[in-house]
Amino acid sequence: MKINLLDLKAQYDTIEHEINKVVKEVLESTHFIMGPNVKKLEAEIAEYTGTKYGIGVANGTDALMLTLKALGIGEGDEVITTPFTFFASAETTSVVGATPVFADIEKDTLCIDCDSIEKNITKKTKAIIPVHIFGQMCDMDRIMEIAEKHNLVVIEDACQAIGAQYKGKKAGSIGHVGCYSFFPTKNLGGYGDGGMIVTNDDELAEKIKLLRVHGSKVKYHHEVIGHNSRLDEIQAAILRVKLNYIDKWNDARKEHAHIYNELLKDVDVQLPTERENCKHVYHLYTIQSLKRDELAAYLKENGIATGIYYPIPVHFQKVYEYLNYKKGDLKNAEDACEKTFALPLYPEMTKEQQEYVVSKIKEFFER
């Protein structure tokens, strides 16, 4: 049996007619930039997440970058984030000229650790970027408390967590700003790049909208130096179809994760944990093992794809050598990078496929 980490074709097969119809409508309308689908998707995502504004942008990285810029964060400022994430969570801080500062992660959830955030706050700290890693939300009550105490902005990197919840509130809606990615492999993925920013802040929303189109509100009148970072109309039309299914798909991911947990309960690997009163949406189902690399190779031999998230913590990336982090500085994140990897998981996956994956994992340990 061959099993992919993700099967986007299986998902397309279930919505093919709806997708083809809306794409054709956009093609025939010839309204390709900032058309009605972008506006509607912005309103729909704002409503879905319980926020006032949704602002479509070109991708999740730009969502973070434009937010930092709109907040006036730049040279001389520090932004605290996790080193156990996709590079963009920190890269964007550097792009605007500020310095990323890394806090360690919680051993069990792999989310940013709040004690470590507090230890890293200095006079220069301007913002915290918690990343809801693999679809599980960070300890947002404590993060907001810390932010309030030190007068910091909280930018939720919810790129992996659309639909996830923390005590009944959606990912992206608790911080001052939330950022989503519609990269094809994300839980709500387009068929190309896309991203969105959500916020309740009127002034910030205005600034972000200005920055995403060349600093211009009225065509050919430019108030500030901006960017070209719009969400594509075809992607917006596709995402509006997919948004109707996001809860169903997230629930299926969660069910499959629980099936894995059950099937793997006697196997010598560390299973994912769920924060209390929260909804984990399992962007990735990750397990931990010191034998990760051998196990992944064995699964590959048996036709099963796995993904290593993340092979190198961000503080050890070559480009951040100048920050002078040493081995052991962020121990939990460094350990996680040696042990964590993802098993195949997607909404359309069958129990038979999951059983096959687990049977091969058991076979590996019994050899």
List residues near ligand PLP by CB under 6 A.
59-61, 85-86, 88-89, 131, 157, 159-160, 181, 183, 193, 195
d(CA 41, CA 239): 8
Which C-beta is closer to ligand PLP: that of 230 or that of 360? 230
3-state secondary structure at position 153:
strand
To ligand PLP, the closest distance from the beta carbon of 281 in angstroms equals 13
Q: Do 163 and 247 touch, CB atoms closer than 8 A? A: yes
3-state DSSP assignment of residue 277: coil
Minimum Å gap between C-beta 135 and ligand PLP is: 10
Closest distance of CB 180 from ligand PLP, Å: 8
Instruction: Rank residues 60 and 83 by Cβ distance to ligand PLP and give the closer one.
Output: 60
Kindly tell me the sign of the dihedral angle through the C-alpha atoms of 91, 96, 102, 107: negative
Helix (H, G, I), strand (E, B) or coil at 248: helix
The nearer residue to ligand PLP, 159 or 333, going by C-beta atoms, is 159
The smaller minimum CB distance to ligand PLP, of residues 82 and 354, is found at: 82
Strands 99-102 and 78-81: parallel
Instruction: Provide, rounded to whole angstroms, the least separation between the CB of residue 188 and ligand PLP.
Output: 11
CB nearer to ligand PLP: give 239 or 361: 239
Residue nearest to ligand PLP (CB): 60
CB of 56 to ligand PLP, least distance (A): 12
- How many Å apart are CA 209 and CA 81, to the nearest integer? 25
Structure tokens of 315? Answer: 């503080």
Q: ω into residue 191 within 30 of 0, thus cis?
A: no
